Structure 1
Amino acid sequence: MDGRKLSRHFSRAEDLDSEGTLKILVCGGGNGAHCMAALASSRPHVDVRVLTLYADEAERWTQALKEEDMTISITYSEDNIEDVKSRPSLVTKDPAKAAEGIHMIFFTVPAFAHAQYLQAIAPHILDNTLLIGLPGQAGFEFQAVKALGDKAKQCAVASFESLPWACRTLEFGRHVQLLGFKEALGAAILIGSKSNLTSHSLDIIQFIFGENPVFKVINNYVAINLMAKSIIHPPLMYGRWRRYTDEVLHEKPLFYQGVDDEQASLLSKVSDEVVMTAKVIESKRKNIDMSAVIHILDWYREYYCHEISDHSCLKNAMQTNKAYDGLLHPMKQVATKGSEGFVPDFNYRYIREDVPFGLVVMKGIAQIAGVDTPTIDIIIEWAQKQLNKEYIVGNRLNGKDIGETRAPQVYGFETIEDLFHI
């Protein structure tokens, strides 16, 4: 895609240079931000800046770039790994400098950090800017629109159901490894009523990422909220640890590939409740397509079709998924009776993030649709005890800490009509 084609998707053509350069901002300093910054910087006609607000990350990254360009090691197969050199034009903790003239802003930070970045850059965002949650996690659109205020009408918000690749930082600011691509990835875009952006803006993101994953445009943002993969971790954590009584383990158990019948059943029931929510919304709101919200087993069969050797049931699909090889439960190391062992880490993102910015949001949408979610309720009730929070009381989201989540009720949405008039 050349500069002229890039410019067609943006109304601020005066901001493009003579070659039609696209200016993007990557928010964050972790694995995803490193991968996004390095990959996007390697594309022609794309100028990349990085905003990281955490500690001294901006200074460290800037210093690293003074010594040499970034390297992104892209794994296409076991025998095909390509090293690509690139560099962002600016790494800073100054939101005003970071956002100057920017067309697209990628939020590659955990969901709990979205508010900090949105508040920092909101005053500097220009009209017809596209904000992208990568991944957005459930409720990203609610939070982004709230942070932008009236400016939301002149912008657009997109959200992806998960990260497009597995990646890890090998050396901060210098070397990141892209371990593998998802084959497909769902994305939805919410366009402000006065914005000149269109859904074709997602074509530019496809250009930045390359051939894989192939983006699937989801017809409405409510569906992408119900598709968020934060439904996976909490049921597996609950199923594995709900009877836990402080014993110390000698080794870390497998996470996905250690799934048993009970955990698979819990995840399947959660998925059933989410799919039912989508179907009820579709039945109550004509001309709304929620068909992209599919059962989690069907999702595995579609998105990991070449990675899974046994597609017969959910348990087998997870246990035989090569993309999950060797991944373990989040654990903390402890010393006891002269030896070391492991205990579960209930403050890990599988609960700390995937419940208030995942299951609670889905529960909120289901509550609006009038759909009962007994399995989701049980898992939220267990998880909130581990977090020392209260989101749910009985089967209603009216706990004292609900304001710390992104449930639609926090933003004043009480009806299905409210959801579609954001």
Structure 2
Amino acid sequence: MGTLPSVLCKDTQIEPSKIPETIEGPRLVVLVCGGSHGAHTASGLAASRNDTEARVLTLYKDEAKRWTKAMRRHNFTVEVTENNGKSTKIIAKPTIVSNDPEAVVPGAHVIIFSMPAFAHPVYLEAIEPHLKPGTVIVGMPGKPGFEFQCLDILKDKARSCVIMSLETLPWATHILEYGCKVKIFATKASVQTSIISGKSHPEADPLGSMQRVLGNKPFLKQTNSYLEIYLSSKSVVHPPIMYGTWKDWDGQPVDVVPLFYQGVNEVAIKYLFGVAGELVATALAFKQQHPGLIMSRVIPLLDWYRHTYADDIKDNRDLWSCLLTNTAYDGLYHPMIEKGRQFMPDFEHRYLVEDVPNGLVVTKGLALIAGVKTPHTDEVLLWCQKTMGKEYLVDGKLTGKDIQETRCPQRYGYNTIDDLVSFL
């Protein structure tokens, strides 16, 4: 893999044919699933790469129709901003945006999932009849439990495909105009990526193909196993911050919307450290009990921030300073509901409704398998499930009535370390 020269320069507009490629190779067909900020960004970047065709599948309401109509009237633009303020406008359109899987799935080498985790089952069921062996299925991000769900829904077809998962979305990005303009505010320096090849024989190199879509940044780092992604710190950042901020809230509206990352208090820092530390302990226990399992990429939360946001953090002395001085977090506030001129916390936001059943509950399930005690995780999880009106954790075990809504390993019949590594 070569290193790309920088293509970003102030107020420059780059046509697709002039964008250098990270990976050279035959024509690549990339299908992006979803209509989110990430889906817009990935489809625009993929379309801009030489010898690459980008398609989009979006099943939500009339998104495909809206997106198609917008592209008939306007160019499709990805605006990229770097830390130094320089910007680039990349213009390239997907060849088709559709709500019909039969129109876009056949012939796709890479299928990228970029939508909330609760929508993953709908898209997996939609693509399954048209899926061919060797297809690379990418969760961007996959979120803990993505592989379990792929295997559960796609059955034997999953074992003939490559299942790939990114630990986080590669960029901080936002749709400026639906179907025609999206802006990247910040790009991560590197992103950990897991790959399960199974019995597949992909036509396209999985890691190289995704790097080709993303460009030279972020740099994709392949992990030793999908479990390293599950136990990475990203999957548990949001719930402890919500807990630290709102656990003692009196239920009354507030006058000011607090900053999310850059407004953390001591309680949030304590539980961020505690929960992330329990992930590291779980990884160590897995390694001790199954020596063939490599877990070296599960690192302390502070180190994770220093690596992932290397270009964005101005002061990385400690966790607090990493959060406060991370420019990628500028202007990000707590999810709130406006009540007149005051505000109430939004406990139905994805920071809880997605990151608890598809994050914290999954890592708790792994800790139970490893035999690791998790007092910090338990305290945060119990508050979260009470706040959400759900029941996952009961007497220290994942036996609550709502456990089938989660992606914890126990739901899929994975109850031992051997179960977890059986499909590697």
Query: TM-score under structure 1 normalisation?
Result: 0.93
Distance 2:316 2:85 in 1: 26
Query: What 5-or-longer segments of structure 2 have no aligned partner?
Result: 2-19
Partner residue, 1:343? 344
Provide the secondary structure at the position in 1 that maps to 2:263.
Answer: coil
1:187-229 Cα distance to aligned partner (Å, 9 max, x none): 000112x211399420121121111111111010111111151
> Is this contact kept in 1: 2:244–2:271, CA < 8 A?
yes
Provide the secondary structure at the position in 2 that maps to 1:127.
Answer: coil
Distance 2:85 2:166 in 1: 29
Partner residue, 1:63? 69
Residue 213 of structure 1, aligned match among 194, 197, 218: 218
Distance 1:57 1:138 in 2: 27
Distance 2:310 2:193 in 1: 19
Partner residue, 1:397? 398
Distance 2:121 2:40 in 1: 20
Partner residue, 1:180? 186
> Is this contact kept in 2: 1:118–1:144, CA < 8 A?
yes
Equivalence map 1:188-267=2 (5 Å): 188-192=194-198, 194-197=199-202, 200-227=205-232, 229-267=234-272
Query: What 5-or-longer segments of structure 1 have no aligned partner?
Result: 8-19
Distance 2:285 2:108 in 1: 39
Distance 1:324 1:79, change over 3 A: closer
Distance 1:87 1:199, change over 3 A: closer
Provide the secondary structure at the position in 2 that maps to 1:47.
Answer: strand
> Is this contact kept in 2: 1:161–1:228, CA < 8 A?
no
1:316 equivalent to 2:321? Answer: yes
> Is this contact kept in 2: 1:189–1:199, CA < 8 A?
no
Residue 311 of structure 2, aligned match among 303, 306, 320: 306
Residue 132 of structure 1, aligned match among 118, 127, 138: 138
Paired amino acid for 2:223:
I
Distance 1:63 1:228 in 2: 40
Equivalence map 1:271-286=2 (5 Å): 271-286=276-291
Alignment coverage as a number of residue pairs = 404
> Is this contact kept in 2: 1:72–1:176, CA < 8 A?
yes
Distance 2:144 2:162 in 1: 17
Partner residue, 2:5? none
Task: Tell me whether 222-231 or 155-164 shows the greater mean CA deviation.
Answer: 222-231
Residue 99 of structure 1, aligned match among 99, 105, 110: 105
Distance 1:279 1:199, change over 3 A: farther
> Is this contact kept in 1: 2:111–2:138, CA < 8 A?
yes
Provide the secondary structure at the position in 2 that maps to 1:48.
Answer: strand
1:218-275 Cα distance to aligned partner (Å, 9 max, x none): 0101111111512101001001101112111111011111112221011000011000
**Displacement after TM superposition at 1:79 (Å):** 3.6
Distance 1:243 1:212 in 2: 41
Structure 1 segments, 4+ long, off by >3 Å, are 197-200
**Displacement after TM superposition at 1:311 (Å):** 2.0
Distance 1:273 1:210, change over 3 A: same
Percent of aligned positions with the same letter in both sequences? Answer: 44
Paired amino acid for 1:397:
L
Partner residue, 1:151? 157
**Displacement after TM superposition at 1:69 (Å):** 2.5
